[in-house]
Homo-oligomer: A and B are copies of this chain.
Amino acid sequence: MSQDARFLQAAIEQAQQSLEAGKRHTGTPGVPIGAALAVEDALRAVGHNQRIQKGDPILHAEMDCLSRAGRLSAADYARSTLYTTLWPCKMCAGAAALYGIRRVVCADPGSDLAGSELWRSTDAFLAENQIEMVLLADRSMQQTFRQFVRDYPDLWNEDVGA
């Protein structure tokens, strides 16, 4: 398994944990989106969406992960890759752009989801900020996520401001 596949797997495990943690704490599944941050070949942090678990709208998976990674130098961010189970939204792509994260590996382009033109970061924004997107499609994760969207459309809409 490549390093990218291995770290993306850590993000996928976070998405699964989010589903279960939400159920355990509130009876409602947590939004199943996970993330991981690696500084070169070292895994620095993992995280997942915390909307249900913590009632926190800013804790998308990528943001939870960057929060858990703590204060890093610009040099470390520049050597980092952000792994995420779903294409980053405008907030999460903005965070990557702010900190100079130049590479994002994701399991699901999410472009077929209803309303994706509203929440997804655009190619133009990513290119302007020199963020390379790498798609390592994971069919099983995509199916899990789409099942969640079908079962809990209101939660998913809320998570992307729709």
Contact = CB atoms under 8 A, between A and B. Distances in A.
A160 B57 CA distance: 22
**Which of A70, A119, A125, A157 neighbours the largest number of chain B CB atoms within 10 Å of its CB?**
A125
Interface in A111-161: 119, 121, 125, 129, 157-158, 160-161
Contacts of A121: 94
A158 B75 CA distance: 10
Contacts of A70: 55-57
A101 to B, nearest CB: 9
Interface string A74-104: 1001000000000001111111011110000
B90 A158 contact: no
Q: What is the copy number of this chain in the assembly?
A: 2
A157 B91 contact: no
Contacts of A73: 158
A69 B58 CA distance: 10
A31 to B, nearest CB: 12
Given A58-B63, A94-B91, A125-B125, A71 B158 contact: yes
Nearest to A119: B98
A1 interface: no
Interface of A: 51, 55-59, 63, 66-67, 69-74, 77, 89-95, 97-100, 119, 121, 125, 129, 157-158, 160-162
